[in-house]
Amino acid sequence: YIGMGGGGVGATSCRAAARGVLREHCDPAGGGKVAAATLWLPRRQRVLIGVDDTDTSEEGATWTLVHNLARAVEDEHTSYLSHTIVQLFPVAFRTKNCVSLVAEFGTTKPESLISKFSEFLQRYTLSEKTGMAVYTGFTPSQELLDYARKVKRGEVTPDLVREIDDPSLHIVMDGRGITGAVAALPFYTRYEEALKLCNGKI
C-alpha cells in the first residue's frame, strides 16, 4: 500500500494496526510524505458451500438460512465473502421457486468451518432432504460447471452428481437437495447466469 500525507498514514500505520496482520514494514508517514507499507497476512483458503432443500411449503427459506448460518460461523479464522442465489430448472417437486444457494468463505481453518456449518445446518433445516456440498479448490472445474448448467436447463437424475470426478468436491449432506447444492457451487461469481431462469431449451 502507498499514499501521500493522510493517505500515507492510512496506507501504513492504520492498515498495519488492523486485526489479523501478522507483521508489517512501514515508512514514516504524515506531514505530506509519500509513505508505503508491506503487510503480511494469514493465507486463507477459498471454501464454497452449496445448499439446497432446507424449507417446506409452510416454513423457511433456504437463501435466508444459508445467509444466517454463514454469519454465524464467521470468526477470526473465517470471513464470509459472498452469497449467491442460483435459479434451477423448476422441477415438479420444488418447494416454491426452485433455487439453491452458494456461500463463499476465506478461511485458515477449512475443516472447522465445514464442521460448524454442517452442524448448524443439520440443527436448523426444516427438511429431511437437505443437500450440502463443499468445494475446496480455488476455481470450480469445467466438469462441475457443465453439470450445473444441466441442472439449470432441465431435470436430471440424482445419480448424475455421482459421476463428477473432482477431488475438490465433497458431499456433506446427501439428501435429495444434493443435486441443487452441487449445481450452485460454480455460480459463486457468475451472478447473471446464476439468476437466469432457463426454459429447458437454452
Q: Looking at residue 66, which CATH number applies to its domain? A: 3.30.70.2200
Domain carrying residue 31:
2-40
139 pLDDT tier (thresholds 50, 70, 90): confident
Average of pLDDT values for 35-49? 94
The model's pLDDT over 109-127, given as tens digits with 9 standing for 90+, comes to 999 999 999 999 999 999 8
Q: 69 and 137 share a domain? A: yes
Rounded CA-CA distance 2/177 in Å is 48
Q: 140 and 182 share a domain? A: yes
The model's pLDDT over 67-113, given as tens digits with 9 standing for 90+, comes to 999 999 999 899 999 999 998 877 656 656 678 999 999 999 999 99
**Pick from 134, 140, 146: nearest CA to 178:** 134
Q: Domain count of the chain?
A: 2
Q: Has residue 82 been placed in a domain?
A: yes
Helix, strand, coil fractions of the chain, as percent rounded to 5? 35, 25, 40
Q: Has residue 154 been placed in a domain?
A: yes
Q: 12 and 50 share a domain? A: no
